[in-house]
Each structure stands twice: as C-alpha cells, then as structure tokens.
Structure 1
Amino acid sequence: MSSPQQTTRRAFRRTDDFTPGTSKLKQVQEALPLPLLPTSVLVKVHSVALNYRDANIANGGNPWPVLPNGILCNDAAGEVIALGDKVKTLAIGDKVGPIIDTEYISGHEVGRSWLAADEDGVMADYIVFDEAVLCKLPLYLDWLSAATIPCAGVTAWSALKGMSIGQTVLIQGKHRSFVVKRSIFANQNEGTGGVSMFALKLARAAGLRVILTSSNDKKLRQMREKFANPPILSVNYATNPDWDEEVLNLTNGVGVDIVVENGGSESLVKSLKCTRRGGVVSQVGYLAKQNPMELAELIPTIIDRRIILRGINAGSKHDTEDFCAALSACQMPLDDLIDKVFPFEQAEEALQYVWEGKQIGKIVLDLQCDDRG
C-alpha cells in the first residue's frame, strides 16, 4: 500500500439553508477517511464541473432524499496519489473520475447511490473512493475538460444510444421554476446547459441533424453561429407554444428520431407528439415546473406513436468507459463546451451562476489555481 502524506482536505459542504439570498455552501477543513481500505484510492482533485442538479440540490429542489450538509457535485477529474494494498486496476498518477451512481457498475444492479445526494460528492481538493467506481479519463484532455465527462458527458452519451447517421435529434431546453420554502425562484437553462451542449456536439459528430429549442432568441442565434456548418435548426418554444407542430413541420411531418428531453411533465407529451412512430425519448431531467395534470395524454400518445420512453441518469461504469474510449479514439476536443472557469475558492459564485442559468455549456472549478498560487 502506498502511504498517503495528505491527511486532511478542504471541501465545500451544503449549508441546507434554502432561504433565497443566503449562502448555500460552507468551506470546511476535515480529516480524510484514513487509513485507506484495501481497495480504496486517494485522488487529488484538479477540477470539478458543476451541473444544474448541484444548484437544485443546494437550493432545496431535489425530488430525492439527500445527505444533510453533504459535499456537493459529482463531476470531477483528479490524479491518483495513494492506493490500498489490494487495488489492481489503477496506478499512481492515473487520471480518474468517479461514476455518479456508485452502485451502477454493469447496469444490472438493483441498488443506487448518487454522489452529492445520499453520499458525499466531489467538491473537495482530495477524495477517497473504491477503485470499482473510478474510471480512467482520456489522457489527451486537460483537467478542466476531463471533469465534464462523468455526469454531463455520460448522460448525453446514454441519451443518444442507438443513434444512426442521418437521423434527427431534438435537443430541448425548457423554462424551469421551483417552489423553494414558499418562495418561487425561476430561471432558465435555455437548452444551452452542459448535457444539451454535449448532446449537440456528439450528435453532430455522429452525423445527426440537430433541432435545438430554447426560449431565448439570442442564445439560439449564438448556437446557430457557433455550429454553422452543417447548420442546426432551432425553435423558440416561448414565442411558439405549439413548438411540437413546428418540429413536425421541420421533419416533413415524420417527427424526430430521438429527443433529449429535460423539461418533464410540462414538455414531455409535446416531445412525444413530435417524435416519429417507433422513436426514442430520453428523459434526462426535470427543469420545468412539474405538474401531473399535463400528463393526461401520456399513455395514449406513447401507445399511438409506439414510442420508447427511457429514463437517463448518466450511466453505468461500463457506459463511462465506453464513452471515454470513444473520445480517446476520435480525440474530440471538449474545451469549447466550457463557458466559464472559477477558482475553487469561488465555488459559491459558480453555483449561483449555474442557478441563474447564465452559462452556455459547462461551469468548472479549477483547483490547480491553488497549486500555482
């Protein structure tokens, strides 16, 4: 066993104060879980990527139970610096990140455990995980880009499973509004968050035609300019409440082959209606205000259009490994997915930036700033 010299860590734990305007994070100095268990690995974290899920948990909007005052975030890239004496698959110096559901290795497990929810996440300068839940990240990527892979990247990868060259994918953005401690906080992700941007990039690399929805014409214009060749199609769902009919028109009435659906009950039925018969809707999120009354047509629409509706929560360890292998094979750059980088000390500001939906792509914390002084 390699003996770790590091015995403590800095981490950001949630305050669990959901009052608007109050701090959502508290920096702590705490002992690492040492000595390492036989199959445990100590990782020095170089970068942490934030997701909308993190901002939602910190503001009390997560629909599933969470660990009180837990460490936030599930996307990280780090360097192995110490190993338990039974570790076989990793070595000192490996670039790694944990999967987000640490019970979901092969895809056949019955249990679940989500980082930053019912167990601590990765917003810390050192983390300890069993080797079974760590994946090697592509060596060609820098630390900032590599941190975007485990959650947002693998979610997009899983959502597009089964895609074929020449098919059409609808990548959806929706207005989100949540009731938090009797006050309503509303903001917009606009279809330009991390999963949407990853899905767009992967879809284009795979030869799919892309239709992007948003309520913000400026962001749609920016995306059309950024991805001009071949051009993407776009639909503003705010100015066109019947956006599903517009999507059908763009596909000559046939419908799209795959939908990356992140709205939930507010948009799901419309997403089904503009999917071709026998197509796939991948439910990756719940950004809109959830109202079961809007699902009245769900069952007849699924049956009539013979649609496969599948829930996506990132993927298994095998999915992560497959995605990393695909990235390494094609050497796809990911730096263009990063909207803004914050130093680790500004984690609170970064979290608020995501909560307000200001980003186009990923927000990443750089822990290497501390190393460089």
Structure 2
Amino acid sequence: MIEEAVPSLPTDTSLLIRVHAVSLNYRDANMLNGTNPFEIKSDGIPCSDAAGSVVLIGKRVTRFKIGDRVSPIVDQKAITGREQDREWLGGEVNGVLSDFVIFDEETCVKLPEHLSWAEAACLACAGVTAWSALARDGSLVPGMSVLLQGTGGVSMMALKFARAAGCKVILTSSSDEKLEHAKALYTEPAIATINYSTKPEWELEVLKLNGGVGVDIVLENGGTSSLLQSVKAAKKGGIVSQVGYLGKQSGAHIEGLVPLLIDKTVNLRGINVGTLHDFESLNGLVEATELRFEDVIDKRFGFEQAAEAIEYLWSGQHMGKVIIEL
C-alpha cells in the first residue's frame, strides 16, 4: 500500500473522485498473476471498476457537480465505439484501487442513485460487458432464450439483465452447489441449469431445455475449448458473444468452426466491455427497472484486505462479484 498526498487537478475538465467501492474482475487477478496477454503498466495501480463521489471539479467541467455519484469507464478511449485504440484502467494506465482518483469528465458516467456503492461498482466492467453481449444493436428482446456460461460476475450480471428483459435463461457451471444456489435465488420465473462437467455434450442439453432448438444468444466464456459447442447451442441466425477465454486455448478445438458458422448463419461477435454510450444505456435500464445487485455480490473485503480479495477471486470459489470497500 502506497500513501501519497491528494494531487491537484491536472486539467480544467478533470474530476477528483473519492472511491467508495471497487469491484474485482478476473482480468485484475489475471494481470497481477502475469497471465494476461495484453500490455500492462508494470508499476501501475490495479483494477478497473469503481464507484465514487465527485469531491472537486475543474473550472470548465459541465457534465458533473460536486457530490455526483460517478464511475470512470474501463476503456478510457471507448466513447462511441468508433475509436481504433484502447486504454484500459489497470492495464495500460493506472487503475482505481485507490482512495482518490482523477479522470476527465468525458470518460466518466453518472451512476444510478438507488444503488449502494458496492452494487454500483459492479457496473463498469462486468455490467457493461454483460449488457453489450446481450443487447448490442438492440439484439435483446422479450421472449428470447439466453445461454450463460459460468457463475462469475459477467454471467450473473447478464442473468439479471436477461430476466429483467423477459428472457428465458439457461445457466451452466461445473458446480452443482453453485447451480442450486442460483436456482434458489431466481425462482419466478425459474432458470434452467446444466452442469457441463457431468454433461460434457452440454450443447445437446441446451436443445432439450429449449424445445429442440438452439438459443437466441450465447454468452461465450471459455474460448476455443467451448466455442464449437456454443455455436451448436445457438439457433440458426443466433448470436454468440465471445466475452472471455477461461478454458485451455488451442486451435485444434475449433476445427470445423468456419463451415459450422456458415451453415448456421451464426453471428460470432467479440465483446471488449463496451463504450461510454453503452454504459449510459445500461444505466437507463437499471434506473427504469430499479434493478438491484446485492444478490450478485459474493463477498466483501476492506481496502487493507485487497491482496486477500484478489487471491479469493483467483481461486474461483466465488459466485458473482467480489467487492473491496474503501
């Protein structure tokens, strides 16, 4: 832990933000354990998801005022989606695991007022990723069927959004305990579940649970190890949103992928979190439906327990989100 004086604002459009909660993501532990494939700042501050309050503003700030509840966007370059470069918090630039952070007003969004700090901290990466995977270009509509892989933060946030949109949810995991917990949490309407370790041909189980046809949207989390099965689990003309690569990666896993994509006319799309506009769109849904996320939070740690929190996330014991409260 490093202690420094609170810095002055570097520009007239800067915000000084008091951080109240930080939400951990797999990429945070991945980077700190040296297994992330992307560039990172060697001496940087980790983590990308924070919820905080504005305590000081530059004289040309117009979008925010002191006291506003805000979050910086994860990719500081992703405003509209047309940008061709990237600048990830906790990666190429300093992250948010700090009492105070400074960001330009153009890379921050206001947070829904009804959420706790811990809930609001879940939105920037896991929330926006889940929202982009499901709803980009208006792809999510009531009555659709959605397959969610795993019980990590992105999948559990996606479960909340899909249910709020009136969609059927099928959730997979290798843990019967986690699946039973999810079914106990979400009863009306009930969710369907598959243990992919005991049912290795889980794509066939998806068809059985969905009336003999594939699902409309697959949230794909495994990478090459599960991608072929995910395409098979999608309906003809369906969507597979690739949000992660948690499984063992090998080109041998995806032999036959191209003809299968063509035959099923599946839209395979990469999801790299989302843009500031995506975040604002998500916040609109959260505010309109008054969604809450306390049920998505697995465990909370104090700032002095940050290393323990990251180790807990890395262990895979969690279900949903791990929070560091400041």
What is the match of residue 255 of structure 1?
Answer: 214
What is the match of residue 268 of structure 1?
Answer: 227
What is the match of residue 130 of structure 1?
Answer: 104
Quote the Cα distance in structure 1 between the aligned partners of 2:114 and 2:210. Answer: 38
Per-residue CA distance 1:147-181 (angstroms, 9 max, x = gap) = 11111111111111111211110001xxxxxxxxx
Deviation at 1:33, TM superposition (A): 4.8
Quote the Cα distance in structure 2 between the aligned partners of 1:336 and 1:249. Answer: 29
Q: Which amino acid aligns with 1:171?
A: L
The 5 Å alignment of 1:69-84 reads: 69-84=43-58
Q: Return the match for 1:215 from 160, 174, 189.
A: 174
Deviation at 1:301, TM superposition (A): 1.0
Are 2:213 and 1:236 aligned? no
What is the match of residue 90 of structure 1?
Answer: 64
Larger helix fraction of residues: 2
Gaps of 5+ in 1: 1-26, 173-190, 368-373
| Contact 2:217/2:239 (<8 A) preserved | yes
Deviation at 1:274, TM superposition (A): 1.0
What is the match of residue 337 of structure 1?
Answer: 296
Quote the Cα distance in structure 1 between the aligned partners of 2:223 and 2:5. Answer: 40
Q: Percent identity?
A: 50
What is the match of residue 29 of structure 2?
Answer: 55
Per-residue CA distance 1:186-243 (angstroms, 9 max, x = gap) = xxxxx11111111111111111111111111111111111112211111111111111
Q: Return the match for 1:171 from 148, 159, 180.
A: 148
Q: Which amino acid aligns with 1:142?
A: S
Are 2:131 and 1:157 aligned? yes
What is the match of residue 156 of structure 2?
Answer: 197
Deviation at 1:30, TM superposition (A): 3.1
Deviation at 1:101, TM superposition (A): 0.6
Per-residue CA distance 1:58-96 (angstroms, 9 max, x = gap) = 111111111102111111001111111211111111100
Q: Which amino acid aligns with 1:164?
A: V
Gaps of 5+ in 2: none
Per-residue CA distance 1:3-23 (angstroms, 9 max, x = gap) = xxxxxxxxxxxxxxxxxxxxx
Counterparts in 2 of 1:292 and 1:33: CA distance versus 1, 3 Å: farther
| Contact 1:36/1:83 (<8 A) preserved | no
What is the match of residue 39 of structure 2?
Answer: 65
TM-score calculated relative to the size of structure 1: 0.85
What is the match of residue 361 of structure 1?
Answer: 320
Q: Which amino acid aligns with 1:169?
A: V
Q: Which amino acid aligns with 1:343?
A: G
Quote the Cα distance in structure 1 between the aligned partners of 2:159 and 2:101. Answer: 31
Give secondary structure in 2 for the equivalent of 1:80: strand
What is the match of residue 347 of structure 1?
Answer: 306
Deviation at 1:111, TM superposition (A): 1.4
Quote the Cα distance in structure 2 between the aligned partners of 1:267 and 1:156. Answer: 18
| Contact 2:49/2:96 (<8 A) preserved | yes
Give secondary structure in 1 for the equivalent of 2:98: coil
Give secondary structure in 1 for the equivalent of 2:16: strand
Quote the Cα distance in structure 2 between the aligned partners of 1:334 and 1:237. Answer: 26
Give secondary structure in 2 for the equivalent of 1:141: coil
What is the match of residue 104 of structure 1?
Answer: 78
Quote the Cα distance in structure 1 between the aligned partners of 2:174 and 2:281. Answer: 34
Q: Which amino acid aligns with 1:116?
A: G
Are 2:13 and 1:39 aligned? yes
Q: Which amino acid aligns with 1:81?
A: V
Give secondary structure in 2 for the equivalent of 1:326: helix
Quote the Cα distance in structure 1 between the aligned partners of 2:119 and 2:207. Answer: 35
Deviation at 1:31, TM superposition (A): 4.7
Aligned residues: 323
Q: Which amino acid aligns with 2:231?
A: L
| Contact 2:9/2:102 (<8 A) preserved | no
Quote the Cα distance in structure 2 between the aligned partners of 1:270 and 1:35. Answer: 50
TM-score calculated relative to the size of structure 2: 0.97
Q: Return the match for 2:95 from 98, 101, 121.
A: 121
Per-residue CA distance 1:275-307 (angstroms, 9 max, x = gap) = 001000111111111111111121111111000
